[in-house]
């Protein structure tokens, strides 16, 4: 089971979130049939969204979206405070050769564009206040740097973010997936900030830690080094979509009577696809006729 840890360090000057997301990324790859480089990009985005979403209040929803001119076209992910995340890409089969370092060219597949964060309070209990929308330019397309840049520029929270996905050739295709987010609280000791920066600069890549049976707590140690920390919460996390047969029926009803009559006459039924998880909901003409009545 994938896990996420929430910790504090340096007397409350630092907030740390770390997660192992092997199963989440594998599920997304399976559902969307993504190419290797897109798989790496989507896995990083799902992990980053999950980490940022863990700071929300109960019943809130967080959406992180990249709209870009790269081959992938864009990536959208949603996370809840309860530890669920879902996401999709516009072009799942886009691909590029490895970069100069022999790694996935995630920056190239994403390209230039805008990084959005949308926070909706009380969404899961029916409240619909005006959402908070923050945006910054995509600075690298490597995803981790874009999360850190957004937090620093839009929310004024100096942060270090590490995200990684390592793939293998056979199912479930994910050898390692996870991330860690270190946020400096207001008034944090500048010396502590420097220590964290130096530790992260010298740290091995986090996927090597995860591949060797590393845990979310190992990722915290990777980021903090000798800085003492206290774990506040451990939670299971998963890829989970909110779509359902009932919601699909509601969407059909919202189309109106004339549209349903047209579906019966022209297609003898209807088919609806969820973009977030690729689930398909089908309705034959008898089921559509029941909606009309």
Percentage, residues of the chain above pLDDT 70: 97
Alpha-helix residue ranges (DSSP H) falling in the chain: 22-32, 36-53, 106-110, 144-154, 190-202, 206-211, 216-224, 245-255, 257-267, 285-292
- From residue 118, alpha-carbon distances to 91, 130, 217 in Å are 22, 10, 28
Q: Per-residue pLDDT tens for 57-110?
A: 877 899 999 999 999 999 999 999 889 999 999 999 999 999 988 899 999 999
Is the pLDDT score of 214 beyond 90? yes
Of the two residues 51 and 102, the one the predictor is more confident about is 51
H/E segment holding residue 18: strand 14-20
H/E segment holding residue 239: strand 238-239
Task: Identify the weakest region by mean pLDDT among 23-27, 173-177, 232-236, 257-261.
Answer: 257-261
State the average pLDDT over residues 100-123: 92
Residue 176's SS3 state is: strand
Phi, psi torsion values for 195, nearest 5 degrees: -60, -45
Question: How many C-beta atoms lie closer than 10 Å to residue 232's C-beta?
Answer: 11
Task: Identify the weakest region by mean pLDDT among 23-32, 42-51, 257-266.
Answer: 257-266
Secondary structure of 35-91 in the HEC alphabet? CHHHHHHHHHHHHHHHHHHCCCCCCCEEEEEEEECCCCCEEEEEEECCCEEEEEECC
Question: What's the pLDDT at 270?
Answer: 86
> Environment class of residue 134 by beta-carbon count within 10 Å: exposed (0-12), middle (13-18) or buried (19+)?
middle
Is the pLDDT score of 127 beyond 60? no
CA 143 to mean position of chain CA atoms: 10
Is the pLDDT score of 187 beyond 80? yes
Residue at which a domain ends, from 224, 239, 254? 239
Return d(Cα 240, Cα 124) in angstroms, integer. 14
- CATH number for 110: 3.55.30.10
H/E segment holding residue 5: strand 3-9
- CATH number for 261: 3.90.1280.10
pTM of the shown model:
0.93
For the chain, what is the domain count? Answer: 2
Residue 258 and residue 174 in one domain = no
Q: How confident is the model at residue 125 (pLDDT cuts 50, 70, 90)?
A: low
Residue 259 and residue 168 in one domain = no
Residue 108 and residue 249 in one domain = no
N-term to C-term CA, the chain: 45
Is the pLDDT score of 141 beyond 90? yes
Q: How confident is the model at residue 128 (pLDDT cuts 50, 70, 90)?
A: low
Is the pLDDT score of 195 beyond 60? yes
Residue 212 and residue 258 in one domain = no
Q: How confident is the model at residue 124 (pLDDT cuts 50, 70, 90)?
A: low
Residue 178 and residue 216 in one domain = yes
Residue 171 and residue 266 in one domain = no
Residue 160 and residue 281 in one domain = no
Query: Over the chain, what is the mean pLDDT?
Result: 92
Residue 268 and residue 163 in one domain = no
Residue 215 and residue 257 in one domain = no
- For CA atoms 217, 220, 221, 226, the dihedral sign is negative
Q: Which domain holds residue 262?
A: 245-292
Radius of gyration of the chain (CA): 21
Residue 212 and residue 136 in one domain = yes
Residue 155 and residue 209 in one domain = yes
Q: Per-residue pLDDT tens for 242-292?
A: 999 999 888 888 888 888 888 888 888 888 899 999 999 998 888 888 887
Residue 18 and residue 103 in one domain = yes
Contact criterion met (CB below 8 Å) for 132 and 123: no
Is the pLDDT score of 171 beyond 90? no
């Amino acid at each position: 089971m994938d896990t996420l840890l929430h910790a504090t360090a340096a007397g409350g000057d630092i907030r740390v979130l770390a997660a192992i997301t092997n199963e989440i990324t594998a599920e997304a790859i399976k559902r969307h049939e993504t190419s290797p480089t897109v798989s790496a990009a989507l896995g990083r985005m799902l992990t980053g969204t999950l980490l940022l979403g863990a700071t929300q209040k109960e019943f809130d929803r967080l959406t992180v979206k990249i709209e870009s001119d790269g081959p992938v076209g864009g990536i959208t992910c949603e996370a809840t405070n309860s530890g669920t995340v879902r996401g999709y890409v516009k072009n799942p089969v886009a691909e590029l050769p490895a970069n100069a370092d022999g790694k996935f060219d995630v920056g190239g597949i994403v390209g230039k564009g805008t990084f959005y964060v949308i926070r909706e309070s009380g969404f899961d209990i029916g409240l619909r206040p005006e959402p908070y929308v923050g945006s910054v330019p995509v600075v690298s397309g490597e995803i981790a740097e874009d999360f850190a840049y957004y937090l620093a520029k839009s929310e004024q929270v100096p942060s270090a973010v590490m995200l990684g996905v390592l793939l293998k050739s056979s199912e479930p295709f994910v050898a390692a997936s996870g991330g860690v987010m270190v946020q400096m609280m207001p008034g944090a000791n500048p010396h502590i900030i420097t220590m964290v920066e130096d530790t992260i600069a010298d740290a091995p890549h986090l996927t090597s830690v995860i591949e060797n049976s590393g845990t979310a707590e190992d990722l915290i140690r990777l980021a903090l080094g000798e800085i003492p920390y206290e774990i506040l919460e451990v939670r299971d996390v998963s890829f989970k979509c909110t779509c359902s047969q009932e919601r699909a029926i509601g969407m059909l009803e919202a189309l109106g009577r004339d549209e349903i009559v047209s579906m019966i006459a022209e297609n003898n039924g209807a088919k609806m696809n969820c973009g977030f998880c690729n689930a398909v909901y089908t309705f034959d003409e008898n089921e559509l006729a029941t909606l009309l009545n």
